[in-house]
Chain A
């Protein structure tokens, strides 16, 4: 066991507090803001003492935004639902396509496998704006603009490379002989994939799924251009809070709290997998 002097412990405590403050302060501040009216938020100097109000949340949930310029109808809950639906479906499809592909890239040697894998990765290199204009035109001609299907398709550009490359590394880390041992004991290729490779790569798959969910959830620009109001996720929907009578900080804050809640909960639940999954080489033979 390591032993520490009291001074060392004190310094360590201060350092940890500073780090926590640095990372947690914005989140705490947003949560505080979400329980305040625009007036208390904007007062100078700012204060942490205020009368909490739920009106921001009520406005979001009922969809009626009261501003100085009048009542505005917003569809925040619709946006939240869109985010949830788009991200979940995209990640599900991404996993369905990406995990077997990652396995193939890791295990099977075929002509051009490296080139194909790299091409898929390179989707992540291109700035989204570069492909948006041609995509918009194609989508309009194909009738995919402003459809969930179209958006989910485009979201594959985000989730598929991520899943493919993280999970591939995982499959490569599993000694092939474990799978051979299973196959020679009387199992076919498919059941070996299901019963040996998938469970052993489990943490990696969970991490890849979680990360790609967060990336999909946070996407802004694809949804902004390719979807209109009724299909838009929260990231785009939040623009509605920038109204004629100013920015509704209270509602923006409440919106942020609501929209980070699902990913936050998911990350908390799966943080064990996330850490395990991203520290490659965690699987031992």
Chain B
């Protein structure tokens, strides 16, 4: 499968994530869109990993070239899981204080 297809697909997912972040005000939806963007990047990393592996395989059959990409995805998932736990804790905290999860209420950091 040509790598461009994966890139287009992931870009589309990523842009949808951006549009979601820009257009929605619900903090949880915004958070979910961020997860969507992370996943788009993950998929692209795996696709590139396989692309490099395919290129290296022709030279050496036993190579593990490209495995770093997949390990990177693994670590991204780790970080994402930690981030979600903390982020949701913050949203819960915010809801408890303001009884709203509108991100525009977050601007009270401004003053």
Do A and B truly interact?
no
Q: List the interface of chain B (C-beta within 8 A of A).
A: none
Q: List the interface of chain A (C-beta within 8 A of B).
A: none
